[in-house]
Amino acid sequence: MAEADRGLPEQLSKRIVQLILDEKLEQGDRLPNEAELVRCLGAGRSSVREAMKLLASRNIVQIKQGSGTYVSSNPGVVDDPLGFTFIEDKKRLVHDLLEVRFMIEPHIARMAAEHATDKQIDEIMYWCDECERLILAGEDYAAADAKMHTAIAKSSDNLVVPRLLPILNESVPLFITATKKILVEETLRTHRNVANAIAEHDPVAAGDAMYLHLVYNRSVIR
């Protein structure tokens, strides 16, 4: 938390967050317009506008010019929330991110194998196929790879995991750069094994396959 007093717009932004919670506004819902907020918060128009800019900068609301202000998808989850931009030593960052992925991703694969719905399995399979297609075509598969890991996290039936994993997936493009070409065959195989084990609701096989996937990554990165 910044220690400085951030003033009136900061206080107003907190009251607007409370209003979103009280009114049970969901992602995509429109907030009251500026005139209504000025009235109900008892604050000046320019302070309300400043407060909205603060909330937009934190991805809590999205301001659409000429249309209104809406609750963001994944409100409050900002880009780079752990400040990795400010870690100078990227090589060490990759190593340390991988260490954390080892702690959680085999667990997540197990949870997904227990809880994934048919629709979630379809999504995991889709991204597994898409990764495979891109890899075999020699194209950039970083985004598809991250989407597959995210689809698995979303199937964990845990509220925290899907918010945590994108941060760790920060590392996926770095890993691919580090392991390019060398791990093509292993990536294809372990991805497929993870996806199949989840589809078969086999937690042990899913956890083992994910562990192996990370082991291959670590063996090249070290």
- Site mask for a copy of itself (CB under 8 A), range 123-162, x = bound: -----------------------------------xxxx-
12 binds a copy of itself (CB under 8 A): no
Closest CA relative to residue 153, chosen from 105, 114, 198: 105
DSSP 87-137: ---HHHHHHHHHHHHHHHHHHHHHHHHHH--HHHHHHHHHHHHHHHHHHHT
Cβ neighbours of residue 18 under 8 Å, at least 6 residues apart?
A: none
Q: Which stretch binds a copy of itself (CB under 8 A): 4-12, 128-136, 139-147, 174-182?
A: 4-12
Contact in structure between 121 and 200 (CB atoms under 8 Å): no
* Options 100, 136, 215, 220; binder of a copy of itself; rule CB under 8 A: 100
Closest to a copy of itself by CB, 101 or 191: 101
Say whether 189 sits in a helix, a strand or coil: helix
Point out which span in 34-42, 60-68, 124-132, 206-214 binds a copy of itself (CB under 8 A).
60-68
Q: Which of 42, 66, 89, 138 binds a copy of itself (CB under 8 A)?
A: 89
Upper half-sphere CA count for residue 172 (Cβ side, 13 Å) = 20
Judge whether 78 and 56 are in contact, CB under 8 Å.
no
Q: Which of 47, 72, 169, 217 binds a copy of itself (CB under 8 A)?
A: 72
- Give contact residues for a copy of itself (rule: CB under 8 A): 1-4, 6, 10, 17, 20-21, 24, 50, 53-54, 56-60, 62-65, 72, 74-89, 92-93, 96-97, 99-100, 103-104, 107, 158-161, 163-164, 168
